[in-house]
Structure 1
Amino acid sequence: MSRDSFEGPELTDHYTDAVREVIEAKQEGHRPPKAPEPAARPGQLMDLMAALQQSVDKARAARGESDANFHEPPTTAAMETTATKTAKKSPAKKTSLRKPRRRA
């Protein structure tokens, strides 16, 4: 598809037009026109962490949950005893020094 196959006022090739202007300016011995400063995009900036927190709060409210309740786990007598020592590893056994078999 080429540029010529699309026609209409809303379909313009701004890049080709800008390149053409630069070429024409250089042919005439002028400096090429400066590119216009990009305009600030109108729109609403959003704090993603705040949006995430609102979503989490909304989901918790829908389930009937409150903020996370952190509590200490109950301690038992087994947890309060000291940890047992790990067994020591024995050194690796030496390999046999036998010669490999001869193949016939």
Structure 2
Amino acid sequence: MSLAHVVATIVAALMAGFAAVSSYIRAGRVGSRKDVPVTWLPWLGAAGSAGAAGLLAGMFVPLVGYAAGVGLVLYFIVAVIAVMRARGFDDVPSEVLFMAPVVGALMLAS
């Protein structure tokens, strides 16, 4: 495990955790223009929290990290699709920004 992989994993886990906390506390524009029901936000936050924890656990159990990384990438792809369906094209870069360190961590893991 290289230092770059550890740093990318920690950054990805922190960003996924931030996204999860934002869903829990309904901060800013989370779900506001994406036609996401408010009742879904705790579940989305739980998925993000599980992904962040899985990334960190993946530094010790690689298979868990791969699964968490793939799950988070799919999570953010669905977020991009939801943003585009709601015509909130100005929010797409922020969703991609949250996905980028996860992709980086996955690429460095192999």
* Shorter-chain TM-score tier: under 0.3
Larger Rg: 1
Q: TM-score, normalised by structure 1?
A: 0.21
Q: TM-score, normalised by structure 2?
A: 0.20
Q: Which has the bigger relative contact order, CA under 8 A and spacing at least 6?
A: 2
Bigger helix share = 2
